[in-house]
């Protein structure tokens, strides 16, 4: 369903993203909502994932995702939903950043058609190094 800022309070983050918890305020959630499309996957009252696209300017956007600790149970469903979204996404340049030590996130970015572009020291909210991956729409 469409992402709402309060969904973040229901999200039990996966361990690899747990350091993000202090930043997941209602105002941060509102900024995500205001930046572009966003979606939340639920199983009953349980939030499985929140994800979306933050538009920077026409033709360029950053993908964001926050995944629950129970993602492994729903990973295939979430993957298929993201693939469907990417097929119809008109944005020319999509960017995403990942912690290079989070092997599953790196592998998923590649399965989704993103390619490594650069390493960005001190990029994360706690000063972590992130890698930038991009997906360029042809045509």
**pLDDT (tens place) for every residue of the chain, 139 residues total:** 999 999 999 999 999 999 999 999 999 999 999 999 999 999 999 999 999 999 999 999 999 999 999 888 888 888 999 999 999 999 999 999 999 999 999 999 999 999 999 999 999 888 999 999 999 998 6
Cα–Cα distances in angstroms (integers) from residue 128 to residues 21, 46, 98, 101, in the given order: 15, 29, 10, 10
pLDDT, tens digit, 9 for 90 and up, residues 39-66: 999 999 999 999 999 999 999 999 999 9
Q: Phi, psi (5° rounding) for residue 28? A: -65, -45
Contact 45, 10 (CB under 8 A): yes
Residues ≥6 apart with Cβ < 8 Å to 120: 97, 129, 130, 131, 132
pLDDT at 24: 95
Partners of 54 in the β-ladder: 62
């Amino acid at each position: 369903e469409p992402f709402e800022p309060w969904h973040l309070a229901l999200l039990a983050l996966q361990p690899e993203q747990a350091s993000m918890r202090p930043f997941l305020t209602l105002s941060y959630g509102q900024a995500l909502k205001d930046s572009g499309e966003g979606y939340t996957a639920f199983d009953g009252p349980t939030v499985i994932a929140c994800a979306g696209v933050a538009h920077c300017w026409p033709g360029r956007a950053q993908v964001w995702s926050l995944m629950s600790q129970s993602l492994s149970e729903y990973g295939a469903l979430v993957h298929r939903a993201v693939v469907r979204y990417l097929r119809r996404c008109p944005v020319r340049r999509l960017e995403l950043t990942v912690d290079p030590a989070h092997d599953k996130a790196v592998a998923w970015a590649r399965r989704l058609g993103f390619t490594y572009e650069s390493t960005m020291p001190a990029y994360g909210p706690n000063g972590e190094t992130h890698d930038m991956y991009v997906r360029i729409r042809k045509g």
